Structure formats: structure tokens, C-alpha cells
Structure 1
């Protein structure tokens, strides 16, 4: 129940309680140690005085003579005659004489069981005494007792004031704990307000001024970084949706026109379409449906690729490239593929990397003439491995090299060919997520050249 109640407290309340408890424990501990040290010091002084009294009393012939001697040397005060008592004992442990106000001091221990020079506390009703026992030169023992009420009263007064100081310290610690908690959590309150404002307004540009240092400063910096990442992600999503809507509008419009034409022809028997035109429209519909399916699939791949879910594995990159080459060769039988691969281990997500290599190979095969050759080479060095794909097509115009990896970008010469303009964008995304880079250039054969560079796996 207590643990559940503690969990329901706010962070400010917890911090205040912890600070107050720590300070209160420190104050109480210091007070207790101070009282203990003072008590030990007072009793050491008291016992030293009793020991000196016992040494003087041991030289006297009788308890009365010893008491008279002690009274003459005792510290002045109104109760000094009442406070001292002297008792002699024999070696057998029998009391041989007593002088002083206390008549029932404990008898001394017999010789052989007696430990020389020791102190003991004696209580007689409300009176408190401390007694010191010592050996006499001629045999036997002497016991000197003195009222210890002054010491006990001093300790009582000291304990009372230490208790008052401790209570004041606890109250002060409680107030200080609340103040410290309020001051320490002020940046957290600002972060909370900023987060609530973002949740309420959906405005991701409301950054927080980082004025604190340490953990709070790191938290504010991380919060601003998170807002920036969310803002960039939302902008990317918005741009993706806008671009996708723009790209989908054309094939959807064409599909709708063709379907309306077929519906209109069927609704008017007198204006039937020729069989050749009808067949052509149905073929166009099939082609457009296939293009739409491919476009939607690539959009899904592009959007989900921003949140990788596949685990990374240490693999030989040549195995992935070989699989991609074989798959592409079966798709484009009119194009030849040559591969010169090298041994290089990489830490990658296999399916994503194979998809990226497939996209580059498909692009090269699409632009290659019948009977053309697509060359795939691998080279490792400098902590990285390069996969290079060259084709024998017309190549990428210089003006388009800087844009070939942008989403939905298609060169003027490529608008008549099938494609969504997303394949190379997916390539760049996958390679970048693996810490690599991509580039496009003109190959020595005059066609296009694409380089995919991945970091080598640590040995």
C-alpha cells in the first residue's frame, strides 16, 4: 500500500520528500553524535575526578578522615558536603566503614574478584550517583560515590535543545526540499508545457530554449531534436502524399476515361466500338492497372522503408548481388549480364539491399538495347565495398544526374517508358540507411553508371 501511494506522488513531491528526509536524517544523526560525544566527555571528566578522590581517600585511616579530606579539596558548591560518600571494604568483601549521606552503597567484591579502578552508576530513588572503586595500599578497597545529577541534568538540557534544533532542522529541510524541488523541476515543467502545446496545436516548430545544463539540458536538447525529426518526417510524409497524388492522378484519369468509354459504348447499342478498338482499350486498362499496382507497391515500400523492421545480418555482399543478378536475368532475357564480384562482408538487411540492387539492375536492363550487356562489378577498399552497374543504353543526361534519385523524378526521355520514378529513390534510401552512398554518372560505354557504396563489416 505504501509503495503504491509513493508511486502516485508527483515527481516534485517525491523530490521534496527525499531532500527533506536526507536533511532531516543528517540533522538527527549529527545531533545524536554530538549528544553521545558530550555525554562521554562529561562522564570521563566526572570519572577522572572520582578517581583522584579515590586515590586521596585510600591514604586515609578511616572513611570519616577520607571524607573530610575530600570535602576540603572538592569543588565549591552548595551541595558538596552532601554529594560525597566514602566507604571502606575488607579483602573479604565486607564493609568496614561508611561516611557520607549514602548509607547503602553496594558492598565491594571480595579480593580476587575485584577489578581495580572501575566506575558504576547507582540509583537510589530519584537520586543518581556514580561510584569509583579502588584498592587501598594496605589491603581492602575504597569506594567513593558522588551525586551525578548535575551531569544528568546537563545532558538532559543538551538533549532538549538538540531535539529543538533537530525539529527546526526537519521543518527547514521540508521547506528547503519544496523550494529545491520547485527550482530543480522548473525546466521539466517548461518541457511539459511545450509537449502539451505540441500535442494541442500539432505545431512542431515550437523549440525550447536550452538554458539549463547537465541532465536537464540534455533532455531539452533531445526534445528539440525529437521535434525536428518529427517535423522533417511530417514534411517528408506530406511531400510523399502530394507527389503520390500527383503521380496517381494521370493513370487514374486515363483509367476512368477508358472505363467511361466502354460503359458509354455498352449503353448505346447503336454505337458499338469496333472489336479492334475494344481490345486495345482493354489492353490499355490492363497495362494501366499493372502500372498502378507497381506504383502503389513502390509507395508502400518507400514509406515503410523509413521505419526499418528487418534485422541486420553479417553477410557476403556478393551472395546478395548474385541473387539479384539471377532474378533480373530471368526478367530480361534479351539482355546479357556479366558479373565480376569480390569477397566483402557487410552488416545489412538482406531483403532491403537485394531490393535496391534489383532496382538498379532493372533500370539498367530497361534502358539497354536488345542484345546489350549490363556489367556488375564489385571492389573493396578503404573500409567500403562498391557495387558498380554499367549499361549500354543512352545514358543519363548531365542535367538529370543531380535529380535521378529524387522521388517521382523522370527525365524527359523516360516519360514514354513504363515506370513510377520511385525505384532509384528506394535505392538511395536503402543505401543511406546502411551508412553508404549512391551516385550516378556516364559509363565508358556511353550508357549509365550507378555506384552503390556500403561500409564493410567490422572484423
Structure 2
């Protein structure tokens, strides 16, 4: 990671320096040649007014950029080497007069260095515009910048050396490349240091994740410094570890509680099976047990099998609620209550369910809410005597923000000391231990209610039985239904 950040930083800086430097170099070259062309135009206008090339040269001569070191002859083209040997180095300025046919009639020294500039450009024809600037030199070598201006009897050419300008531009290009390389190298070093410092929290996070993967310890906590993205990532990791630890603890507790609760019915089931096996063994020797005792044992086996089935189903529901939650969808809780009441009436034909509901629109899990309501109804029916009335009321709170579901029975009620604990897993009051059940029904109610952001509590009904109250938040769309009268069934 460090090397990658450093390399990317160096490449980015090198690209930026290259773009800026080359742009500056190009602008410098353009400006230098524009200045040279302006100087050549002025020189050509001055030379057009002179009598001879030497007079023109005296009027315009000024200090130029230093010329190249012409002693390095091996690097020059053959024609330039010949001129250098015969005529010497090229002069800074050359002035040449041309006749109407474009042939030189007079010139200053070194005009041979202009190479094939004449015959003059087409602009010097009768329909020419009067001025042309071009490059010149022996062969393909550019040594001079030449301005040609039309006169009454021909044309005048003024040439200035460009080798000095080109050398300055070459030096500048080398300097730009050198500075760009040093800048990229420095950026790489700085990028390495910045990456090492900035990514240190990420390394700590990576180490913590690796430790968790290796040790399976979910208690790891990363120190969070600052408020940047890495700090946010560390905070999210800590929250994830807390959630995983909570889920693992809940899973372990569920397994422990389930093992404890399964032990009792399994022991009873095993004892009854052993007793029946013993009875069958005695029957072989002529000893038999009474028919009513045998029937009682078989009934107990059936009851215990049903209890184990119910306990297993409720354990599966709890586990699925933890690992595979049902998605939330818009629904009317009143419709869920009526559906659960229909199922409860079929399961408890000896109980009267008196229902009164108001519209309660909310976002919820249809399956979970139906299971929650049905568990409340089953609990109330189980504790109510035959022919008793179980009241089911769904209303909206005064603020219009919550739906309140009340389920009241006519049973023995719940003691005050037991009311805070009835929604705990496997908790059963002393009076309930002789009744069938797993102790998970109300725990499932509490879990579904908590999933929907509500709360559940136990109290006493007006008839002296138990009253279980569930409060759930409703959505803002409920306001359009407020004022609608409750329905009864």
C-alpha cells in the first residue's frame, strides 16, 4: 500500500510538472520567436531605407544572443562544415539586397549561410503582400530567421541567428526535465511518508480483523482517533464487533436455555419409554400392568412428544428471527389481529374472543406480527376457563403515534413479582409449571415487539386475570385514517 501510494503520488506530480513545464516552455519559445520576428520586421523596414547592406547593418546592429560553439564540427551537416571551414562562423546578422528577379545584388558577409532562400518567396511577385518571414540555413539545418520585404526595385532580406535561442530553449527544456524528475522523486518520498502515517490506523484495523479471524475473539476494540474516513471505518468495525458479540452471546444463551429446557421433557419421555419397555419384558413372563396404567403412559408419551414439538418449533422461530429477519412492508395491524383471532378461535373453540380494533397503519413484518398476536391469544386462552371471554382491543394512542394492543383474560392472573419476567425466555411462574408450555411464547412476543421498536408489559385485567399490553409505533400515513370508527367482531 505504501509503495502504491508513493508511486501514484510520484506519477501524479510528474504528470502535473510535465504539463505545466512544457506549457511554460512552449509559451517561452513562442514569445521568443514573436519578439525575434518583430525585431526582424523592424530591421527589414530599416534596411529598405538604406543605400547599401553595410549601411543597413550599421543602423541596426545590436548585441544578440550568444552564438553556438561552432567548433563542434562533427555534429554539423556536411554543408555547414564546409561553410564553417571556408567562410568561418555565421555572423549574427546578415543583410542582402535582391533585384526584381530575386537574385542577390549586394550583401554583408556570411550570406552563403542563408542557403536556398533565394529566389525570393512568391509574395515578392507583382501581387505579393510585401513581407515574409521564414527559416534559412545550409541544407536542412536551420541557422537563421529571415525577413524579406519588397522594395521598389526588388527586395531586402534581413537574417538573424536562431542558434542562441535554440540553445536557451534546450537548456530550459533540460532544466524542466531535471526539476520534474527531482519533484517526482521528492513527491514519492513524501507520499511514502504520508501513506505510512495516514494509513497507520488502517493497519491497526487490519491487524485487529486478522486477530479476530485467528482467535475468534469478538471483544476486540480499536482506538478511534479523529473524524476522517478511517476513523469512521474503525467506529463501524467496533459497532460490528459489539453486534456480533451480542448475537453470539444471545446464541449461546439460547443454546444453554434450550438444553436446560429440553432436558426435563426428554428425561420424562425416556423414563416412560423405559417403563413401557420394562412392562413389555414382564409381559413375556406372565406379569402385566393394568390397562389404565398403560393408557396413561401412552397419553404421557403423546403429551411429551407434543411439548417437544412445540418447543422445537418455537426455538426455530427464535433462531430464524435472529438470523433471517423478515422484511418490513406497509400493513394495517387491525387486519393482522383479525387474522390471528380467526386462527385462535379454531384452536380454542371453548373460548370467546371479543375483538375491537381501530385502523393502525405501520411498516412491519406480517409473519412476525401475526405470530406475536397469536401467541398472546394462545397464552390468554390457555389460562382462561372454558366459556371465558378473552378481550382483544387495538386502539391508537392520544398522540396518534402508537398502536396499543390489549389482550385480557379471565384466568388467575400474573403475580406482581412475576410480571417483569414473563417475557423472558423459558421463564415460567411457579403456578405455571404444572401447565403445558415451553416458556418461549411470550419471549417470542417480546422479540417481535422489540424488532418493531415497541414495548410489551404485563398487568392485571379488570376481571382479575392477566392483561398483556403491546405498544408499537405507527407510520405517518395513519393520519388519513384517524376518525375512522373501530370495528368489532
Secondary structure, counterpart of 1:240 in structure 2: helix
Secondary structure, counterpart of 1:182 in structure 2: helix
- 1:93–1:111 CA contact under 8 A, matched in 2: no
- In the superposition, the TM-score normalised over structure 1's length comes to 0.90
Question: Equivalents in 2 of 1:76, 1:296: separation in Å?
Answer: 99
Residue in 1 that maps onto 2:73: none
Q: Does 1:456 align with 2:438?
A: no
Question: Equivalents in 2 of 1:34, 1:158: separation in Å?
Answer: 10
Q: Does 1:207 align with 2:224?
A: no
Change (3 A) 1:27 1:81: closer
Residue in 1 that maps onto 2:9: 19
Deviation string 1:42-63 (CA, Å, 9 cap, x unpaired) is 2233233323322321221233
Displacement of 1:362 in angstroms is: 0.5
**Counterpart selection for 2:133 from 119, 136, 154:** 119
Change (3 A) 1:94 1:377: farther
- Summarize the alignment of residues 2-17 of structure 1 with structure 2, pairs less than 5 Å apart: 11-17=1-7
- 1:338–1:375 CA contact under 8 A, matched in 2: yes
Please, which moves more after superposition, 283-292 or 104-113? 104-113
Please, which moves more after superposition, 261-270 or 23-32? 261-270
Secondary structure, counterpart of 1:150 in structure 2: helix
Show structure 2 runs of 5+ residues with no match: 69-88, 478-489
- In the superposition, the TM-score normalised over structure 2's length comes to 0.85
Number of residues of Structure 1 aligned to a counterpart in Structure 2: 447
Show structure 1 runs of 5+ residues with no match: 1-10
Displacement of 1:86 in angstroms is: 1.7
Residue in 2 that maps onto 1:146: 160
Q: Does 1:133 align with 2:148?
A: yes
- 1:111–1:140 CA contact under 8 A, matched in 2: no
Question: Equivalents in 2 of 1:232, 1:90: separation in Å?
Answer: 103
Q: Does 1:54 align with 2:54?
A: no
Residue in 1 that maps onto 2:303: 287
**Counterpart selection for 1:182 from 190, 193, 196:** 196
Residue in 2 that maps onto 1:306: 322
Question: Equivalents in 1 of 2:263, 2:335: separation in Å?
Answer: 40
Deviation string 1:155-177 (CA, Å, 9 cap, x unpaired) is 11111122222222233333333
Secondary structure, counterpart of 1:247 in structure 2: helix
Change (3 A) 1:91 1:355: farther
Please, which moves more after superposition, 84-93 or 180-189? 84-93
Question: Equivalents in 2 of 1:77, 1:189: separation in Å?
Answer: 59
Residue in 2 that maps onto 1:3: none
Aligned-pair Cα RMSD in Å: 2.4
Q: Does 1:324 align with 2:314?
A: no
- 2:407–2:467 CA contact under 8 A, matched in 1: yes
Q: Does 1:85 align with 2:94?
A: yes
- 1:67–1:100 CA contact under 8 A, matched in 2: no
